[in-house]
Amino acid sequence: MKPLFLSVFFLSIAFLGCQDQQQSTDLNGNGTIEVYEDTSRSLSNRAADILPRLSLEQKVHLLVGRGMNMPGSESPEIKEKVPGAAGSTYPLDSLGIPSLTLADGPAGLRIQPHRKGDSTNTYYATAFPIASMTASSWDTSLVKRVGKAMGNEVKEYGVDILLAPAQNIHRNPLGGRNFEYYSEDPLLAGEMSAAMVNGVESTGVGTSIKHFAANNQETNRMLINTIAGERALREIYLRGFKRSVQQAQPWTVMSAYNQINGTPASQNTDLLTTILREDWGFNGLVMTDWFAGQDPVAQMRAGNDLLMPGTPDQYSKILEAVKSGGLDESVIDRNVQRVLETILKSPTLQGYDYRDNPDLEAHAEVARQAAADGMVLLENRQNTLPVSDQSGTIAAFGNTSYDFISGGTGSGDVNEAYTVSLVKGLENAGYTLDASLQEKYEQYLKEEKADRPEPESFFDQPEPIPELELSKSEIEVQVANSDIAFITIGRNSGEFADRKIEDDFYLTDTEQQLIEDVSSAYHNTGKKVVVILNIGNVIETASWRDKVDGVLLAWQGGQEAGNAVADVISGRVNPSGKLPTTFTVEYEDVPSSKNFPGKELSDKEVTGPGGIPLGTPSEVVYEEGIYVGYRYFNTFDVQPAYAFGYGLSYTSFSYDDLSLSNNEFQDEITASVTVTNTGDVAGKEVVQLYLTAPEGSLDKPALELKGFSKTKKLQPGESQALELVLKPSDLASYDPDKSAWVADAGTYQVKIGASSADIKQTAEFNVAEPLTVEQTSNALTPNREITPLFK
């Protein structure tokens, strides 16, 4: 076989300036073009032409990655093309099959900014806002733009596949990686993920939607057995993945660490073959999460094509199994075929001439817009915001005002060149900050940081710096110096650990005291107080929100976060974000609070390859079933602090003239509604369509999100008509007894809302006969009875 590398080398000479294009070339010069070289052939034909040319050993090598350099402990054995990338596939140099490079992650490309022996260049990537924040924009075109910018960095830094987007469900606010995920709702998560995949892949690199599936906690994440009913799995935990697979066909899917109903996701044929490929039509590659699963042979059989980052032990076990007849070679061939198809479309194989020089300035602008559009205004009494008068002085309280958190930790982190803090953003926008307060905080933070040891490894997550304690008299001094107070409350979390209830979901005593003291001091002199939430996921707000005048959920807004907050504070951007996740009053109100993070089944800690701690065998039972997030709050009349879909604007909107294209459901129904800006400033509104199904054989949530649309920027008085389409699948619930998506006959209510708790217009249509919308396989059945918590 002729080396593919060589062919590409010649091609790139022949086509300088248009490196993206491929063309079949007779590299032998013998007058014939091999099938695998012929780019007019399908990827599948080309890969199938390579397969018989490979030895068994070569095939198995392609199925197991090349291993991994742990951040901070690089081994000279594993030569990295892109330092800081998470892994790479095995090259077969003699055949010209290159190694693909894979790198995280959801908020931007994670690679090392500095390289050994290279003191002149830097390799920073843009930190975009976290996924929960981009989802808060409810704007798929914006997310696609973010994806496109991210994909460009992936390609320009020589990476082939971005290990993103992540789209697990926000089952519980303590989930340590929720910031990497979009929403508690699978429709919103699926739409966001599809937009991100389309954006990234439009640049010619691949994505890996992850972590498939039901990976909703970090505690014992590699050993946890998630026990869930088929209905909850299909309707909540798989549904968003189905949407992004069917709308965007990502190059790859990453299987999760956890077990589902007793079988690790990466060894789960039901999940990876029956559902993903047969039910949904996925035709790409499945890779494991890093070091996931225990049995490489079972992984191969399940349809987990590529084991990442790959260990010598996995290679030997697969090879041995084929040689001894324990694993059919046809299984290997099927998986190798998928690996080859992925390699064939990669920029590396195509010889893309990357320059390590993406347009970081242009991407910073995209990051800033995405952050500004993802901010959610939670409170704004007496129009405290925007602060249009820039002549006054702002006092910024709270450590994180000065040390803004751009994103979470672990593999979801990005090595960005800078993070614009709140105070820097305000200064850039022309505001004056209270200098004496700034000095006090900066001095404190400097001293605290000097006392802290540098984290020893990637796995070490430093404890947050305790909030600076200020006495009442110290605060009084600032009141005299300033005209308004901002208090930033910051939270961070990430891979390897879930959050805590005390001093994390709930505020610390010092934070509560700060809010109390600052508010009473400023209010005594008629001055206002705004809280900025620089957080990755839900915290408690109900106990303190009435003490302040404004609350802005600024999330973790990436490297431009401070500038984006200033855009909203100044009114340059009118906030239009809405919550992708419910904010509860108490932690106990969360429907999964009784079952999170499950129970340990042994007291033995298990370790994996290289002594990596895997945790303790444990299980979690999803007894809340489909009642996750607003599906629970709305059905059982539990008052949240802020409802799913909620968010304020500097203007107001009216909703009128809801009409349906038909009163009887045939193949689809279109709902039309007119939204008018009834306030004084221009703004955008997120319009949500919820559906209430009639009573039927299955219990139903009070309402479910079935569509959404965001208006353009409407000028005061301007209207826009929006259309939202309902398909049969939007009407259906999953009936495990029938292994089918079914819709009952009866009256359905279409509810157009500004949030799940603020329905503006309602209309009805009828379904004459029950519909079986989709027959599925019978898969992922739990092997025990799950007692539902709610019904």
In this structure, what token pair is assigned to residue 284? 């790409």
Work out how close the CB of 210 gets to ligand BGC at its nearest, in angstroms, rounded to a whole number: 6
Number of residues engaging ligand BGC in binding (CB under 6 A): 9
Contacts of 268 (CB under 8 A, 6+ apart): 255, 259, 260, 302, 780
Instruction: Give the residue among 208, 167, 165 at the shortest CA–CA distance from 189.
Output: 167
Work out how close the CB of 73 gets to ligand BGC at its nearest, in angstroms, rounded to a whole number: 15
Q: Specify the residue, 495 or 744, whose C-beta has the smaller distance to ligand BGC.
A: 495
Regarding 105 and contact with ligand BGC (CB under 6 A), the answer is yes
Work out how close the CB of 212 gets to ligand BGC at its nearest, in angstroms, rounded to a whole number: 11
Bond prior to 105 in cis (omega within 30° of 0): yes
Work out how close the CB of 514 gets to ligand BGC at its nearest, in angstroms, rounded to a whole number: 35
Beta strand pairing call for 618-621 and 224-227: parallel
Distance CA 683, CA 214 (A): 37
Catalytic residue, chosen from 289, 373, 403, 413, is 289
Q: Specify the residue, 86 or 515, whose C-beta has the smaller distance to ligand BGC.
A: 86
Q: Specify the residue, 105 or 347, whose C-beta has the smaller distance to ligand BGC.
A: 105
The amino acid present at 460, given as its one-letter code, is D
In this structure, what token pair is assigned to residue 647? 């968010």
Instruction: Give the residue among 179, 185, 171 at the shortest CA–CA distance from 224.
Output: 171
Regarding 290 and contact with ligand BGC (CB under 6 A), the answer is yes
Radius of gyration of the chain (CA): 27
Regarding 212 and contact with ligand BGC (CB under 6 A), the answer is no
Number of neighbouring beta carbons within 10 Å of residue 401: 28
Regarding 568 and contact with ligand BGC (CB under 6 A), the answer is no
In this structure, what token pair is assigned to residue 705? 């999100």
Name residues contacting ligand BGC, limited to 588-617 (CB under 6 A).
none
Q: Are 287 and 308 in contact (CB under 8 A)?
A: yes
Which residue in 270, 289, 379, 744 binds ligand BGC (CB under 6 A)?
A: 289
Which residue in 41, 59, 210, 684 binds ligand BGC (CB under 6 A)?
A: 210
Work out how close the CB of 188 gets to ligand BGC at its nearest, in angstroms, rounded to a whole number: 20
The sign one gets for the Cα dihedral 470, 476, 477, 480 is: positive
Q: Specify the residue, 358 or 408, whose C-beta has the smaller distance to ligand BGC.
A: 408
Contacts of 79 (CB under 8 A, 6+ apart): none
Beta strands in 153-251 (DSSP E): 161-162, 206-212, 224-227
Regarding 213 and contact with ligand BGC (CB under 6 A), the answer is no
Would you call 639 helix, strand, or coil by DSSP?
A: coil
Would you call 600 helix, strand, or coil by DSSP?
A: strand
Buried b (16+ CB within 10 A) or exposed e, 302-324: bbbbbbbbbbeebbebbbebbee
Buried b (16+ CB within 10 A) or exposed e, 728-743: bebbbbbbbeebbbbb
Q: Specify the residue, 163 or 377, whose C-beta has the smaller distance to ligand BGC.
A: 163
Distance CA 382, CA 404 (A): 27
Q: Specify the residue, 291 or 708, whose C-beta has the smaller distance to ligand BGC.
A: 291
Name residues contacting ligand BGC, limited to 114-133 (CB under 6 A).
none
Name residues contacting ligand BGC, limited to 469-508 (CB under 6 A).
495
Q: Specify the residue, 288 or 559, whose C-beta has the smaller distance to ligand BGC.
A: 288
* Residue 289 annotated as catalytic: yes
Work out how close the CB of 225 gets to ligand BGC at its nearest, in angstroms, rounded to a whole number: 18
**Pattern 65-104, binding to ligand BGC, x per CB under 6 A?**
---------------------x-----------------x
Work out how close the CB of 86 gets to ligand BGC at its nearest, in angstroms, rounded to a whole number: 4
Distance CA 791, CA 773 (A): 24
Regarding 235 and contact with ligand BGC (CB under 6 A), the answer is no
Distance CA 513, CA 507 (A): 10
Q: Specify the residue, 291 or 544, whose C-beta has the smaller distance to ligand BGC.
A: 291
Regarding 163 and contact with ligand BGC (CB under 6 A), the answer is yes
Which residue in 152, 411, 677, 755 binds ligand BGC (CB under 6 A)?
A: 411
Work out how close the CB of 304 gets to ligand BGC at its nearest, in angstroms, rounded to a whole number: 15
Name residues contacting ligand BGC, limited to 626-685 (CB under 6 A).
none
Work out how close the CB of 611 gets to ligand BGC at its nearest, in angstroms, rounded to a whole number: 16
Continuous H helices in 259-412: 269, 296-302, 312-323, 329-344, 360-374, 399-402
Q: Specify the residue, 103 or 742, whose C-beta has the smaller distance to ligand BGC.
A: 103
φ/ψ of 103, rounded to 5, equals -145, 150
Which parts of this chain interact with ligand BGC (CB under 6 A)?
Answer: 86, 104-105, 163, 210, 289-290, 411, 495
Q: Which residues are catalytic?
A: 289
